[in-house]
Amino acid sequence: MSAILDHPPAVAGHHSPGLWLLAWRRLRHDRVGMVSLVIVVFFLLLMTASYMGLVASDWSQEKGVSYANPSFLAGAENLEAKAMEQRAKAAKAPPVDLSDVDPLAPRYKEWEERAKKIAVTEVKRSETLPLGGDKWGRDVLKKAIKGSEVSIFVGLSSALLATLIGTVLGAFAGYWGGKVNDFLEWFYNIFTSIPYILLILAFAAVATSTGKFGKGIVPIVLVLSLTGWTGIYRLIRAEYIKHANREYVKAAQAIGASNNSRMFHHILPNVSHVALVQLSQYTVGFIKAEVILSFLGFGVPVDMVSWGTMLAEAQNELVIGKWWQLAAAGLSMAVLVTAFSLLTDSLRDALDPKLR
C-alpha cells in the first residue's frame, strides 16, 4: 500500500521520450550524419566569428599585389603584378592654371598648407598570400571566410523567411479549408505556373531597380523567400489536413482552445519536423540560387563578398591561369553544401525511421 504511494514519481515520470530526443539518439548512431553535423557546426561557428569581426574582418584590405600567387605556388610568374609595377609615369606637361575661374581660388594658400600636414602612408604589398589574391590583391582565404558568412546568412535567412511564409499559409489552407484554401491554392498555382527562373528574374529585376526593397542583402533575401515558399506550403498544408481531424485537436477544441491556439500551439509542434527538414533543404537551395543571382548581377551589394560574387569574378580568371579564387569559393561551398545536405538526410532519417 504505502510502497505504491511512496513511488508516485516513478509512475508519473515514466513517459516515452519525445520525438526530438529519439531523433537525437538515432542521429548519434549515424556516423555520416554526425560528421556532417560537426562540419556544419564548424561553419556556423566560423560564420559567427566572422560576423563578430573576430576573423577576416580585414578581408577588403589589399594586402597583396594584384593576383598574388598562393604561398604554395610562390615562385610562379605573376604577369599582372609586373604589369602594374611597370606603368611608368609619363612625362607631364605643366598643368593649366585655374585661378581666375576657380571658386576655390581664394583659399588656395590655406589649402596648400593643410595638405602638407596630412601624412600619406604607403602600404607594402606582399608577393604571396596563403590562398592567393584576387585582382585587387585581397586575401582569397579571408574572402572565402567572409563569403561563407554572407552566403550562409543569406541562405539561412531566406530559408527561415520562406519556411515561415509557407508554414503560415499552409497552416491556414490546411486547417480552414473551404474558401481560404481555394484562395491560397489559387495563389500557389500562380507561383508554380510561372517557370522558376522567370519568377526569380522578374522579382530580382524589380527588387534591384526600386530602392524601396531595402538595401544590403535585404532585397536578395526577399526575392529568394518570396519565390521559394511554395514547396513547404504544399507539405505543411498536407500535414494540417491530416492533423486537423485528429483526436487531440478535437480534444483541444473541447477544452476551449481558440482556432489560432489549435493551429499553432497544438498542431504545429507535430509538424515541425517536416518544416525543419524543409528548412535545411531550402538553405542549400538558396545558397546555390545566390550564386546564380550574383552572376546575373542581382546578388549582394558591392561592399560585401559572397561565394556568388567570388565565382562571378572567377569567371574570367580561369583562362588567364588564376584558379585560386574559383577553387576557394567552389570548394568551401561544396564542403558546406555537401555537409548540410547529408545532415538533412540524416535528420530526416532520424525523425522518421520509416523512410529508410
Partner 1 sequence: MGLRAAETGFDPVLVYDRYSVGVCENLFETLVTYDYLARPPKLVPLAAETVPEPEEGGTRYTFRIKPGIHFADDPVFGGRKRELVAADVEYAIKRFRDPRNRAAYAWLFEHNILGLDELAERAKKEGRFDYDARVPGIEARDKYVVSFKLKAPNYNFLYFMAMPNVVPVAREVIEAYAADTMAHPVGTGPYVLREWVRRAKIVLERNPDYRGFELETRYADMADEWDRRAIEALAGKRLPLVDRIEIYPIEDEQPRFLAFLNHEHDLIDELPVSFINQVLPNGKLAPQLAAQGVRVFTELQPEITYYAFNVEEKADGTDNPVGGYSPERVALRRAMVLGHDREQEIAIIRKGQAIAAQSPIPPGVVGYDPDFRTDAQDYDPARAKALLDMFGYVDRDGDGWRDRPDGRPLAIDYKYLAGGQEYRQLAELWVKCMTELGIRLQPSAVQFADLLENRRLGKFQLADDAWIADYPDAQNFLQLLYGPNTDQSNESRFRLPEYDRLYEKSLGYPDGPERNRLYREMTRLLFAYAPWRLGVTRTFKHLQYPWVKGFKKHPILYTNFKWLDIDVAAQRAAMK
Partner 2 sequence: MTAYVIRRVWQMIPTIFGVILLIFILFNWVGGDPAQVLAGKISNPDQIANIRRQLGVDQPYWVQLLIFVKQVFTFDFGRSWSTNEEVSHIILTRVGPTLTIMLPVLFITTGLSVLFAVLVAYVRGTLTDRMVMIACTVAMSISFLVYIIVFQWLFGFILGWFPVQGWSESFWKNLTYYAPLPIMLAVFVGVAPELRLYRSFFLDEIHQDYVRTARAKGVPEKGVMLKHVMRNALIPILTNVGIALPGVFVGSFLLEVFFSVPGLGREVVTAVNRSDFPVIKAVTVYLAIITMVINLLVDVMYKFVDPRVSFK
Residue 242 in contact with partner 2, rule: CB under 8 A: no
> Distances from the Cα of 192 to the Cαs of 165, 231, 233, in angstroms?
15, 9, 11
In this structure, is the dihedral angle defined by the CA atoms of residues 140, 142, 143 and 147, taken in order, positive or negative? positive
Using CB under 8 A, which of 96, 197, 254, 355 touches partner 1?
A: 96
What, of partner 1, partner 2, none, does residue 86 touch, CB below 5 to 8 Å by kind?
partner 1
Using CB under 8 A, which of 110, 122, 123, 354 touches partner 1?
A: 110
Using CB under 8 A, which of 96, 115, 118, 197 touches partner 2?
A: 197
Residue 214 in contact with partner 1, rule: CB under 8 A: no
CB of 54 to partner 2, least distance (A): 27
Residue 192 in contact with partner 2, rule: CB under 8 A: yes
Using CB under 8 A, which of 211, 245, 256, 354 touches partner 1?
A: 211
Using CB under 8 A, which of 189, 258, 316, 338 touches partner 1?
A: 316
Residue 333 in contact with partner 2, rule: CB under 8 A: yes
Which residues, numbered 201-240, are part of the site for partner 2 (CB under 8 A)? 201-203, 205-206, 209-210
Distance between start and end Cα atoms, the chain: 47
Closer CB to partner 1, residue 33 or residue 308?
308
What, of partner 1, partner 2, none, does residue 79 touch, CB below 5 to 8 Å by kind?
partner 1
The rounded distance, in Å, linking the Cα atoms of 69 and 311 is 18
The rounded distance, in Å, linking the Cα atoms of 128 and 139 is 9
Which residues, numbered 308-327, are part of the site for partner 2 (CB under 8 A)? 311-312, 314-315, 318-319, 326
Residue 84 in contact with partner 1, rule: CB under 8 A: yes
What, of partner 1, partner 2, none, does residue 127 touch, CB below 5 to 8 Å by kind?
none
Please report how many Cα atoms fall inside a 13 Å half-sphere around the Cα of residue 285, on the Cβ side.
Answer: 20
Q: What is the 3-state secondary structure (H, E, C) of the chain?
A: CHHHHHCHHHHHHCCCCCHHHHHHHHHHCCHHHHHHHHHHHHHHHHHHHHHCCCCCCCCCCECEEEEEEEHHHCCCCCHHHHHHHCCCCCCCCCCCCCCCCCCCHHHHHHHHHHHHHCCCCCCCCEEEECCCECCCCEEHHHHHHHHHHHHHHHHHHHHHHHHHHHHHHHHHHHHHCHHHHHHHHHHHHHHHHCCHHHHHHHHHHHHHHCHHHCCCCHHHHHHHHHHHCHHHHHHHHHHHHHHHCCHHHHHHHHCCCCHHHHHHHHHHHHHHHHHHHHHHHHHHHHHHHHHHHHHHCCCCCCCCCCHHHHHHHHCCCCCCCCCHHHHHHHHHHHHHHHHHHHHHHHHHHHHCCCCC
Residue 136 in contact with partner 1, rule: CB under 8 A: yes
CB of 107 to partner 1, least distance (A): 6
Closer CB to partner 1, residue 301 or residue 330?
301
Using CB under 8 A, which of 40, 267, 291, 347 touches partner 2?
A: 291
Residue 341 in contact with partner 2, rule: CB under 8 A: yes
Closer CB to partner 2, residue 235 or residue 263?
235
What, of partner 2, partner 1, none, does residue 330 touch, CB below 5 to 8 Å by kind?
partner 2
The rounded distance, in Å, linking the Cα atoms of 113 and 117 is 7
Pairing of β 126-129 and β 64-70:
parallel
Closer CB to partner 1, residue 106 or residue 353?
106
Which residues of the shown chain bind partner 1 in the complex (CB under 8 A)? 60, 66, 79-80, 82-84, 86-87, 92-93, 95-96, 98, 101-104, 106-107, 110-111, 114-120, 135-136, 205, 208-209, 211, 215, 296-298, 301-303, 312-313, 315-317, 319-321
Which residues of the shown chain bind partner 2 in the complex (CB under 8 A)? 32, 186-187, 189-190, 192-198, 201-203, 205-206, 209-210, 284, 288, 291-292, 295-296, 307, 311-312, 314-315, 318-319, 326, 330, 333-338, 341-342, 345, 355-356
